[in-house]
Amino acid sequence: MMIAANGIELHVEQRGAGTPALVFLHYWGGSSRTWRHVVDLLAPEFRTVAIDHRGWGQSKEPEGAGYALADLAGDAQAVIETLDLERYILVGHSMGGKAAQLIASRRPRGLTGLVLVAPSPPSPLTLPLPVRQGMVKAYDSRESIIATVEQVLAPGGLDPDDLETVIADSLAGTPAAKRAWPLSASQEDISAAVADITVPVIVISGELDRVDPPEVLRRELLPRIPQAQLHVLPHIGHLSPFEAPYDIADLVKTFALSIDEDAPTSTTSGARQQRCSWCGITQTAAAERRLIERETAAFPGAAKLRR
């Protein structure tokens, strides 16, 4: 769907149902599709909202300037307000993680938690200007994108279909969006602002991340958000939503259930639903799953009729 926000049409992918909703913000070069595997795993239990940042994916670009962190954060907040999300968790990756930190620092109504996946820290990106100028050309061609993935983003390799998604999304970015992060937004310092984050926070980092490695997050992010808990994924690089979607989904699900365990689940009766302590599935969903399994075993055509 397209949602008008701050004078721009933003593309939003929405699936599932329930509360809290999970709002996904992608990395520089990505789109809402960056989260597709993670969303596939979470949508059966959660309402998921994945946003294409301005100038990326299917979202439109602003007239003139307009790619500061405040712009990205403002877009996401406008989408959240338009969808009337009463309770939600922000899940931000890399550039989207820094935008998510800024949003959380504003303490918006309804925000219950923050998940930072390979996030850019709140301090400026410490790369020399010539290197950052070179980053602008990283997404110029199929060949340059493949080289960037192999040498920087995911040295361990990606599934061929995922690599094609990364290539297509990187090429689709507008020239202004490609320039804005390395030359401007990455240099913004929100270190003082993140001290105002009060919700629970988890940070998920890849052991082999060459963009925002664990040691940088331990130095630049964790001391500024004291309640943040770091989880390091072995043998994973910067594109963890593609490289380790099961790990990401499991951590997000566990986190969401942990901060939501005392809140009533939305049901027709208003009663609180019990969940399995191991897998987190609700009793209602478990009962429905068992019913489907029994029907399928007894009547092989039942599964097709349900589609």
- pLDDT surpasses 60 at 306: no
- Percentage of the residues of the chain whose pLDDT score is greater than 70: 84
Q: 156-168 burial string, b = 16+ CB within 10 Å, else e?
A: eebeeebbebbbe
Residues in the chain: 307
Task: Tell me the mean pLDDT in the region 39-68.
Answer: 94
Q: Residue 25: which of 161, 135, 116, 108 has the closest Cα?
A: 116
For 254-270, what is the mean pLDDT? 59
Q: Is 257 helix (H, G, I), strand (E, B) or coil?
A: helix
pLDDT top residue among 128 and 104:
104
Specify the 3-state DSSP secondary structure of 14. strand
Q: Convert 6-29 to b/e letters by CB count within 10 Å (16 or more is b).
A: eebebbbbbeeebbbbbbbbbbbb
- CA dihedral of residues 50, 190, 221, 262 (deg, nearest 10): -50
What single-letter DSSP state applies at residue 224?
A: G
Separation CA 300–CA 189 (nearest Å): 59
User: How much is the pLDDT for 62?
Assistant: 92
Average pLDDT of the residues in 89-108: 98
Question: What's the average model confidence in pLDDT over 21-41?
Answer: 98
Secondary structure (3-state) at 25: strand
- Is the pLDDT higher at 54 or at 279? 54
What confidence score (pLDDT) does residue 279 get?
33
pLDDT, one tens digit per residue, over 129-180 is 999 999 999 999 999 999 999 999 999 999 999 999 999 999 999 999 999 9
State the average pLDDT over residues 68-94: 97
Query: pLDDT higher for 200 or 299?
Result: 200
The CB density around residue 62, as the number of other CB atoms within 10 Å, is: 18
Reduced to 3 states (helix: H, G, I; strand: E, B; else coil), residue 92 is strand
Poorest-pLDDT segment among 118-122, 228-232, 252-256, 268-272? 268-272
CB atoms within 10 A of CB 97: 28
Would you state the pLDDT for residue 5? 87
Q: Would you place residue 261 in the very low, low, confident or very high pLDDT band (cuts 50, 70, 90)?
A: low
Q: Does the pLDDT at position 60 exceed 90?
A: yes
pTM attached to this predicted model: 0.84
DSSP state string for 193-217: GGGG--S-EEEEEETT-SSS-HHHH
Q: Is the pLDDT of residue 284 over 80?
A: no
The span from the CA of 231 to the CA of 237, in Å, is: 13
pLDDT at res. 44: 86
Q: Mean pLDDT, the chain, as a whole number?
A: 87
pLDDT higher than threshold 80 for residue 299: no
In 3D space, the residue among 102, 90, 9 whose CA is nearest the CA of residue 49 turns out to be: 90
Listed residue (92, 128, 52) closest to 228, CA to CA: 92
Please give the average per-residue pLDDT across 268-280, as a whole number.
35
Strand 48-51 with 8-15, pairing: antiparallel
- Tokens 């338009």, located at residue: 82
Q: Is the pLDDT assigned to residue 193 strictly greater than 50? A: yes
Question: Confidence class of residue 203 from pLDDT cuts 50, 70 and 90?
Answer: very high
Residue owning tokens 């331990």: 218
pLDDT given for residue 305 in this prediction: 35
What type of residue is 299? Answer: F
Q: Indicate the domain borders of the chain.
A: 2-260, 273-307
CB 60 within 8 A of CB 8: yes
**What CATH superfamily is the domain 2-260?**
Alpha/Beta hydrolase fold, catalytic domain (3.40.50.1820)
- What ranges in the chain are assigned the alpha helix state H? 36-42, 69-82, 95-105, 129-135, 142-148, 160-172, 175-183, 214-220, 240-243, 245-260, 283-298, 302-306
